[in-house]
Amino acid sequence: MDKENFINRWRATADELRVQLHLGSKELSNKFEEQKKEILNWSKETRTSLETEASIASVEMRTKLEELEVQAALGKAETKEAIQEQRKKLTSLIRGANEASIKLMGDSKKNVRELAGKADSKFDEWHTRFDLLRLQMTLGASDASDEWIEKKEDLNKSIRNLESKLGEMSQETEEGWSNFKGEISEAWTHVKKAFSKTE
């Protein structure tokens, strides 16, 4: 992935997280359904890309993607409890599919390794989005709760830090590119930790 695409992908992720952070309960429900559709479409596309691969890891990955598709295709979750239940199941299936993608990274074919690397990133992103959803539903039930306000400030700070690193990266020469990729990875880890601190 070239530098420009890398930066644009991370900026889009940061923007999506910031938007999701400020959604109300009705919008949050709609956003969850959008994420399910995204997971469904991406899983189908990725599984189709693996149809001709016969390795054990490829077969396992296709199976995990099929399970993810079935869960993502469920009807709209109408209540907070239904959303939480679907979120938990999707999160569990994403973890399983992510483990399969990590095994798939050991494949000898370059195109399969690249697909597995992209899958790993996508699963990581969805896991973080669902952590944010869980936080919003747990702490944001009362939008004015002090804990939720404080947590939103922490999350915004983590997102701003990620965006700041991205801004620095766009100015960086190719020599510093690999160092900045590491810094972005570290900033992303901080964002994920901020979203997953509260159970």
| Distance of alpha carbon 50 from alpha carbon 59, whole angstroms | 8
Summarize the confidence of residues 56-83 as an average pLDDT.
Answer: 92
For 149-198, the pLDDT digits (tens) are 777 788 788 888 877 877 777 766 555 655 656 666 677 677 667 666 54
Summarize the confidence of residues 8-34 as an average pLDDT.
Answer: 80
Report residue 188: phi and psi, to 5°: -65, -40
What does the H/E/C string look like for 5-43? Answer: HHHHHHHHHHHHHHHHHCCCHHHHHHHHHHHHHHHHHHH
Residue with the bigger pLDDT between 35 and 17: it is: 35
Helix (H, G, I), strand (E, B) or coil at 198: coil
Whether the per-residue pLDDT at 7 is higher than 90: the answer is no
Flag whether the pTM goes above 0.75. Answer: no
| Distance of alpha carbon 48 from alpha carbon 42, whole angstroms | 10
Whether the per-residue pLDDT at 34 is higher than 70: the answer is yes
Q: Residues 35, 94: contact at Cβ < 8 Å?
A: no
For 25, the token pair is 């309960």
The DSSP symbol for 93 reads H
Whether the per-residue pLDDT at 83 is higher than 80: the answer is yes
Which has the closest alpha carbon to 125: 17, 43, 8?
Answer: 17
For 98-148, the pLDDT digits (tens) are 999 998 888 778 888 888 888 988 888 888 888 878 777 776 655 556 777
Percent of the chain with pLDDT over 70: 80
Residue with the bigger pLDDT between 25 and 156: it is: 156
